[in-house]
Amino acid sequence: MRMRKKPNLVPRMEACGQYWIKEPERLKGKWRSLKPDAVRLRLELGCGKGRFTAETAAQHPEDLYVAVERAADAMVVAMERCRALGLTNVFFIDGDAAELDHCFANDEVDLLYINFCDPWPSVKHSRRRLTHEGFLRSYRKVLREGGEIRFKTDNRALFEWSLFQFPKAGYELSQVTRDLHANGVQGVMTDYEEKFYRLGTPINRCVGTKVKLPDVPVEESLNRALDGLECVWDELPPLPEQTGRYGRALKLSLLENGMERAGLELVEDCPRERTLWVGAFTVEPEARRTGLDVRLAQALARAAAAGGFHAVRLSCPEGENGDHAFWLEQGYGDLPSRQGQEDGQVMMELRV
Average pLDDT over residues 326-348: 78
* pLDDT tens digits, 104-119: 999 999 999 999 999 9
Q: Which residues pair with 251 in a beta bridge?
A: 234, 265
Q: Which long-range contacts (CB under 8 A, 24 or more apart) does 253-260 make?
A: 254/226, 254/229, 254/230, 254/292, 254/296, 255/229, 255/230, 255/231, 256/229, 256/230, 256/287, 260/284
Helix (H, G, I), strand (E, B) or coil at 100: helix
What is the residue extent of each domain of the chain?
Answer: 9-210, 218-351
Collect all residues with Cβ–Cβ distance below 8 Å to 63 and sequence separation of at least 6.
38, 39, 40, 41, 42, 57, 89
- Residue 281 phi/psi, 5-degree rounding, is -145, 100
Average pLDDT over residues 298-309: 87
CB neighbours of residue 169 within 10 Å: 21
Q: Is the pLDDT at 223 greater than 80, yes or no?
A: yes
Q: Which residues pair with 206 in a beta bridge?
A: 151
Domains 9-210 and 218-351 share a fold: no
Q: Is the pLDDT at 314 greater than 80, yes or no?
A: yes
Average pLDDT over residues 266-290: 90
Of 196 and 215, more confident:
196
Query: Given this model, what pLDDT does residue 340 score?
Result: 44
| Distance in angstroms (rounded) separating the CA atoms of residues 178 and 332 | 47
Query: Given this model, what pLDDT does residue 241 score?
Result: 54
Of 343 and 208, more confident:
208
Element (H, E) at 47: none
Q: Is the pLDDT at 322 greater than 80, yes or no?
A: no
Given CATH 3.40.50.620, say whether it is the number of domain 218-351.
Answer: no
Active site residues: 118
Collect all residues with Cβ–Cβ distance below 8 Å to 201 and sequence separation of at least 6.
154
Query: Given this model, what pLDDT does residue 245 score?
Result: 67
Per-residue pLDDT band at 296 (split at 50, 70, 90): very high
Query: Given this model, what pLDDT does residue 238 score?
Result: 64
* pLDDT tens digits, 242-257: 545 678 889 999 998 8
Average pLDDT over residues 13-30: 95
Query: Given this model, what pLDDT does residue 305 score?
Result: 84
Per-residue pLDDT band at 4 (split at 50, 70, 90): low
Query: Given this model, what pLDDT does residue 352 score?
Result: 81
Q: Which CATH number does the domain 9-210 belong to among 3.40.50.720, 3.40.50.150, 3.40.50.620, 3.30.70.250?
A: 3.40.50.150
* pLDDT tens digits, 36-92: 999 999 999 999 999 999 999 999 999 999 999 999 999 999 999 999 999 999 999
Q: Is the pLDDT at 2 greater than 90, yes or no?
A: no
Q: What is the mean pLDDT of the chain?
A: 89
pTM of the model: 0.65
Average pLDDT over residues 197-222: 90
Instruction: Return the percentage of the chain with pLDDT > 70, whole number.
Output: 93
